[in-house]
Amino acid sequence: MSKKLQGNLNLNTIQLKKGELLTEVEELCGENLFGCYQCGTCSAGCPFVDEMDLSPDEVIRYIILDRKEVLNSKTIWLCSSCFTCAERCPRDINITKIMEALRQIILRKKIDRTNIKNITKDEKETIPQMAFVSLFRKNVG
């Protein structure tokens, strides 16, 4: 009975077998997720946490429990890679890298839904350019 997540990715397209999510993430980010004590420091310090459907510590918990639906979480795309979580984690886990690993799992399947044409004129004028740069960089790995 997991949380309702906001993404609408068809998880079958990812083709991860049982238990493979964790191995894949660990291979991509080089972090040992089992070192996490679930203390919540990363989540409390995250500047975007209010918008997230899963908080960063919950993302780690989902991976440990082999819940592939974590890939459908908005969190991994909201993460702006500011490294605050990584800086403060007492267990020295680089959560930012974990987020990147999750994004990579999707992107390497050539699933990219960024559609520049859909950005309205209004948005183009108000959103800082840096944000667009970050977004594109993030989405192409």
> Contact residues for another protein (CB under 8 A)?
1-2, 22, 32, 34-35, 37-45, 49-50, 55, 57-58, 61, 64-65, 84, 88-92
| CB 49, min distance to another protein, A | 5
Q: What is the CA radius of gyration of the chain?
A: 15
Nearer to another protein, 22 or 135 (CB): 22
From 6, 9, 4, 5, select the one nearest 113 (Cα to Cα). Answer: 9
Nearer to another protein, 40 or 141 (CB): 40
- How many angstroms separate the CA atoms of 102 and 117, rounded? 25
CB 130 within 8 A of CB 62: no
Q: Residues 55-86, buried b or exposed e (16+ Cβ, 10 A)?
A: bbbbbbbbbeeebbebbbbebbbbbbeeebbb
CB 32 within 8 A of CB 91: no
Nearer to another protein, 78 or 107 (CB): 78
| CB 55, min distance to another protein, A | 7
Q: Is 71 helix (H, G, I), strand (E, B) or coil?
A: helix
Nearer to another protein, 58 or 100 (CB): 58
| CB 30, min distance to another protein, A | 13
| CB 121, min distance to another protein, A | 34
